[in-house]
Amino acid sequence: MRIAMIGTGYVGLVSGACFADFGHQVCCIDKDSGKIDGLHAGRMPIWEPGLESLVKSNAERGRLTFTTDLPSGVADAEAIFIAVGTPARRGDGHADLSFVHAAVRELAKVIKPGTVVVTKSTVPVGTGDEIEKILKEEGVEGVSVASNPEFLREGAAIADFKHPDRIVVGAEDEHARDVLREIYRPLFLNRAPILFTGRRTAELTKYAANAFLAVKISFINEIANLCEAVDADVQDVARGIGLDNRIGPKFLHAGPGYGGSCFPKDTLALLQTADKVGVDQRIVRTTVAVNDDRKASMVDRVAAALGGELSGKRIGVLGLAFKPNTDDMRDAPSIPLVQSLVERGAEVAAFDPVAREQAERIFTDISFAADAAAAVAGADAVVIVTEWDEFRALDLEEMAGAMRGRALVDLRNVYDREEAERAGLTYFGVGRGRQG
Ligand code: NAD
């Protein structure tokens, strides 16, 4: 199949490279010439494990090309995927569809009958209908519009794309279903379930999935608070409930609240959709509030670990990205935490294995350490914010020796209290019995 991918970010580039790897002919289009020039030179615009070699090998075979020129990029494509950003609109949290609409208006000028336009971006219910309307307004006929939401996770994006739990295709005509079935054929040869639904259902399925995962995280975070008050251990509670197949063990890790480029914006966008049709979603609404409070309250945990005072204290922050194995800083829990630490007079030295470049655009008044050892040196408290593998095997004794104080605030429950205390540290985990 000949495929065009409009938007060459986390989703577009990974999807495009994987489709090329399936044997399709793929052109990735982006209006950011810096990204496209970099890709032509073999430089990845994002940090994602395995991406560079996948992109290089498919580009070398001529199956994966890059351009900033949309008309030439979509020419002859049988399917045009839209994978542009849909950030939360400032103020109301509605999904900002301006990039999607701009892409559709641009491709309307050149699209040929028989082409299938597929939204891979996460878009609110009814966006497919709007796209159809725009195409009609622009005089386009004979084009199918389908929805194929993406469920990959940053940090494991290639494996997720190639071995998905399911593929959801929302389409209103047989031609669109046939084209998408053909595109994904290599995957259901591997038995990945493909679910055909109506277009609006597919659009909503993506939001429902992310909202449910956000609920799960907020649920265990609230249970963690309860554990702290009643001297129970949330790790064991999570295991105890997660072994029940009806619940499942994933997304039951208590921590500093969810962040990233999807959950915060997608929960808000779901609420906007619900408001528009007058159907309240109380669980999701509460989840958003719980998570906002949680992120904002992490600074108090650090303060409490230092006896309440942050002014003049040195804090070593380990991990800034919203999760390990990505450089993505969008809505990361580290942002409100670090900003509040600085506001309350602390001096922050932070280290992240790959997110430094992104983080430097956000934090202007902290120092960036070259490694974990440099971040913790002279610190009154060390805070583990992102559970990168390299923070799982720190030499705690060495760390304690290099610090000025003794507090280890482990917001990801990477360590046990006993091992931290053996190393001479005072341990503050999340939901692990009475603190301090
Ligand atoms: P991103 O910001 O990394 O990439 C979007 C790209 O689109 C940018 O490079 C931008 O320059 C380009 N773009 C915007 N308008 C364009 C236009 N008119 N023509 C060509 N290029 C254009 O975003 P992302 O993280 O890849 O997310 C894309 C979509 O996928 C969003 O709707 C997101 O919600 C969804 N999604 C993201 C993830 C994830 O983990 N990042 C997972 C599933 C779904």
Ligand 1 neighbourhood includes 101 CB (under 6 angstroms) = no
314, β-bridge pairs: 347
169 touches 148 (CB < 8 A): yes
Please report whether residue 78 resides in a domain: yes
Residue 174 shares a structural domain with residue 303: no
How many angstroms separate the first and last alpha carbons of the chain? 60
Which residues, other chains included, contact 323 with Cβ-Cβ below 8 Å and sequence gap of 6+? 154, 155, 259, 260, 386, 387
pLDDT at 436: 44
Residue with tokens 């408001």: 275
Residue 188 shares a structural domain with residue 332: no
203 touches 123 (CB < 8 A): yes
Residue 304 shares a structural domain with residue 187: no
What amino acid is encoded at 169 in this protein? V
- Structural domain boundaries enclosing 39: 2-197
Which of residues 168, 197, 226 is at a domain's end? Answer: 197
The answer to whether 19 is annotated as binding is: no
3-state secondary structure the chain: CEEEEECCCHHHHHHHHHHHHCCCEEEEECCCHHHHHHHHCCCCCCCCCCHHHHHHHHHHCCCEEEECCHHHHHCCCCEEEECCCCCECCCCCCECCHHHHHHHHHHHCCCCCCCEEEECCCCCCCHHHHHHHHHHHCCCCCCEEEECCCCCCCCCHHHHHHCCCCEEEECCCHHHHHHHHHHCHHHHHCCCCEEEECHHHHHHHHHHHHHHHHHHHHHHHHHHHHHHHHCCEHHHHHHHHHCCCCCCCCCCCCCCCCCCCCHHHHHHHHHHHHHHHCCCCHHHHHHHHHHHHHHHHHHHHHHHHCCCCCCCCEEEEECCCCCCCCCCCCCCCHHHHHHHHHHCCCEEEEECCCCHHHHHCCCCCCEECCCHHHHHCCCCEEEECCCCHHHCCCCHHHHHHHCCCCEEEECCCCCCHHHHHHCCCEEECCCECCCC
- Is the interface score ipTM higher than 0.90? yes
The answer to whether 252 is annotated as binding is: yes
pLDDT at 435: 59
Ligand 1 neighbourhood includes 67 CB (under 6 angstroms) = no
Residue 34 shares a structural domain with residue 151: yes
Please report whether residue 191 resides in a domain: yes
- What total of structural domains would you count in the chain? 2
Give the other-Cβ count within 10 Å of 436's Cβ.
Answer: 9
Residue 299 shares a structural domain with residue 192: no
Residue 8 shares a structural domain with residue 119: yes
The interaxial angle of helices 199-230 and 127-137, nearest 10 deg, is 150
Question: Which atom of ligand 1 is nearest the CA belonging to 32?
Answer: 11
Interatomic CA distance for residues 51 and 325, integer angstroms: 12
Ligand 1 neighbourhood includes 122 CB (under 6 angstroms) = yes
Question: Which atom of ligand 1 is nearest the CA belonging to 14?
Answer: 26
Which of residues 162, 197, 232 is at a domain's end? Answer: 197
The answer to whether 253 is annotated as binding is: yes
310: left (phi over 0), alpha (psi -120 to 50) or beta: alpha
Residue 311 shares a structural domain with residue 419: yes
Please report whether residue 17 resides in a domain: yes
What amino acid is encoded at 57 in this protein? S
Residues of the chain with pLDDT under 70: 435-436
The interaxial angle of helices 282-305 and 263-277, nearest 10 deg, is 150
- How far is CA 407 from each of CA 255, 370, 398, rounded to the nearest angstrom? 17, 21, 14
How many whole angstroms from 10 Cα to the centroid of ligand 1? 7
Catalytic residue among 18, 27, 227, 262: 262
Please report whether residue 54 resides in a domain: yes
Six-digit token string for 347: 């001096």
Catalytic residue status for 18:
no
Please report whether residue 233 resides in a domain: no
pLDDT at 90: 85
120 touches 82 (CB < 8 A): yes
| Burial of 200: CB neighbours in 10 Å, binned 0-12, 13-18, 19+ | middle
Please report whether residue 435 resides in a domain: no
Please report whether residue 204 resides in a domain: no
Which of residues 177, 197, 217 is at a domain's end? Answer: 197
pLDDT at 354: 96
CATH of the domain at 30: 3.40.50.720
Interatomic CA distance for residues 334 and 399, integer angstroms: 21
Tell me the best of 6, 8, 10 to mutate to test the pocket of ligand 1, counting ligand atoms within 8 Å of each CB and taking the most: 10
HSE toward the beta carbon, residue 174, CA cutoff 13 A: 0
What amino acid is encoded at 37 in this protein? D
Please report whether residue 167 resides in a domain: yes
Interatomic CA distance for residues 217 and 257, integer angstroms: 7
Ligand 1 neighbourhood includes 148 CB (under 6 angstroms) = no
23 touches 63 (CB < 8 A): yes
- How long is the chain? 436
